[in-house]
Amino acid sequence: MIFTIYIIILIYFALGAIGFYFINRPKEAHEARKNWTKLITYFLIINIVFFSIVIKPEVFRYLALLIILVGYLEVFSVFRRSGYTSIVYFALSIAVFSIFSFGFHIFSLLEKELILFTFIILSVFDSFSQITGQIWGKSRLFPSISPNKTIEGLIGGALIAGISAFLVRGLLSTDPLKSVLLVLGVLVFAFLGDIGTSHYKRKYNVKDFNNLIPGHGGFLDRFDSLIAGGAGVALLAMI
């Protein structure tokens, strides 16, 4: 099953590369290079997280703690660079991030199969929302918060994530209805996490949290949906 899942991931990356080819055709050379760097970096990240879950889940738990810790540093760094403005907003943001981080930590302690299922759905939703949005996106969702997000991208990412959930359904032992609710919960929480970090960046007038990850920005730029989606799964697991 794990080998089959990894083959599916490789197929998705091949499709993503084709999508990036069409996206990059009309772009300037430096923009195209940035997009290819983003795809290659994402491939490395996916492999690191995937094998940390599959081979030794304890490694993923430490990785989750690292993501949370760096996330706190990035949130504070943006606040510091702003000159410590909007203190109340910052305090509320830290409180919300703490809640999601605690849920993400609980998520990292769940059974390996559920973590892997969630990670696959999140990764597919996140990546193909961007790809389908850049190719076909016209109707912007929240122009003032996240101008690159479109209705078409959201629908495209959700559809492909739904197909992926069907393909890797063997990872779960729950009934079909609970599986559907789980997928919907993952997508909703992931979307909220993405919008939340975008709102925070717009509030403090920054494009990315930093440049730690080539082509992506900071840890929160890359892992915001994973933190929120994982927290959502942890919540659903307790119900």
Q: With contact defined as beta carbons under 8 Å apart, do 140 and 149 qualify?
A: yes
Statement: the pTM of the whole predicted model exceeds 0.85: yes
Nearest alpha carbon to residue 195 among 121, 145, 124: 145
CA dihedral 180, 139, 208, 195 (to 10 degrees): -40
Q: With contact defined as beta carbons under 8 Å apart, do 183 and 165 qualify?
A: yes
Helix axes 219-238, 87-108, angle to 10 degrees: 60
Helix (H, G, I), strand (E, B) or coil at 140: strand
User: pLDDT 10s digit of each residue in the chain, 239 long?
Assistant: 788 889 889 998 998 889 888 888 888 888 888 888 888 999 999 999 999 999 989 999 999 999 999 999 999 999 999 999 999 999 999 999 999 999 999 999 999 999 999 999 999 999 999 899 888 988 888 888 888 889 999 999 999 999 999 999 888 887 778 888 899 999 999 999 999 999 999 999 999 999 999 888 999 999 999 999 999 999 988 87
